[in-house]
Structure 1
Amino acid sequence: MAASSGGGRARTLRRIRICLGILIAGLVVSGVTAFPLREELHLAAQTLAGTPLPSILPDAVGWVDRVAAALADTGARYPFIAYGTDWLAFAHLVIAVVFIGPLIDPVRNIWVIQFGVIACAGIVPLALIAGSIRGIPLGWQLIDMSFGILGVIPVAIAWRLTRRLERMPLDAH
């Protein structure tokens, strides 16, 4: 059944934009926070050490300590390796920019929304396969997978709403 008024179309468009805004914000935060990984992990390791978590979750805290030490060592001896995570950060920011198209006109740019769903789905096998090959603990792989699982929620809702918007009559003014 079509919306009874242009208000339904405007409301649907607003909901799509909210969903895409959440996705864009997540991509920007992920991108910006990927630049200072060494500093962030150092701070995380120091912060965790001053809490009861080392006795509650020793493996998780040990993993954070190990990663912080590896980043510090690598940064001191081979600082150019961080250039790879700079590109990772940049890619997150570029992908966020791509979603401006559907933010403006979701129907015309539905393919970007579909791409977002596919990208989120791809995180799960990547985390499981590459994580296993690289020796990443399963708990950390689950955290990585959660980005795809949580990210797919707003983008899938935006896709469903965009399909609905496609079928709605244009506002008659």
Structure 2
Amino acid sequence: MTEDQSVTEAATLRRIRRWIVIFIVCLVLSGLTAFPLEAETRWLAGLVDGSPIAEHFPAAATWVERVREGVADTNVRYPFLAYGTDWLAFAHLVIAIAFWGPYRDPVRNVWVIRWAMTACAAIIPLALICGPLRGIPLAWRFVDMSFGVIGVIPLLIVLRGIQRVERAEAARRSAQALAA
């Protein structure tokens, strides 16, 4: 391997790891926001109330207020249901930990990236099937689906980088075999 190839491969690995860190941070933030739902929905409702959003999109403002009321009422009457969102938060944090493998050795752990891309794709049918069953407005289902669409972008960048590193490693092994 030439020095230029070594530098390029090292730069590719740095870029891969940078995108993995971004993905991990987003998973952690997404998980942590599942804990304080009542405070967050109260904050969002306060933000929307009296804003141009409420004026131009009254259905969205009504939905936000309904969600705020539902979360608050549920927490008063059935606080144990919030335990489900605690587990959702925990799952995000555990999934973030799974990316430690690809961070350390992207080529060996490429399966985690492919699995995550599959999970991003699976968000779309989940939102389309379960959203109507739970009375979620179509616009909000598109917001939910956007997590899968946006989430797959860094994963595609990582996968392409891993494939570059794999090709470089294969070329290096081939050259070593020919030299032997």
**TM-score band w.r.t. shorter chain:** over 0.9
* Counterpart in the other structure of 2:72: 72
| TM-score after normalising by structure 2 | 0.90
Structure 1 unpaired stretches of 5+: none
1:11-160 equivalent positions in 2, closer than 5 A: 11-160=11-160
Tell me how far apart the structure 2 counterparts of residues 3 and 75 of structure 1 sit (CA, whole Å).
Answer: 61
* Residues 128 and 141 in structure 1, CA contact (< 8 A), matched pair in contact too: yes
Structure 2 unpaired stretches of 5+: 173-180
- Max radius of gyration: which structure? 2
Query: Which portions of structure 1, spanning 4 or more consecutive aligned residues, are displaced by more than 6 angstroms?
Result: none
What is the root-mean-square deviation in Å for CA atoms of aligned residues?
1.4
Deviation at 1:50, TM superposition (A): 3.4
- Stretch moving more, 97-106 or 18-27: 18-27
Tell me how far apart the structure 2 counterparts of residues 58 and 76 of structure 1 sit (CA, whole Å).
Answer: 27
Write the deviation string for residues 63-105 of structure 1: whole angstroms up to 9, x where unpaired: 1100000000000001000000000000000000000110111
Closer/same/farther in 2, CA of residues 154 and 3 from structure 1, 3 Å limit: farther
* Counterpart in the other structure of 2:178: none
| TM-score after normalising by structure 1 | 0.94
Identity %: 54
Letter in 2 for 1:81: L
Tell me how far apart the structure 2 counterparts of residues 50 and 24 of structure 1 sit (CA, whole Å).
Answer: 35
Deviation at 1:44, TM superposition (A): 0.7
How many aligned residue pairs are there? 169
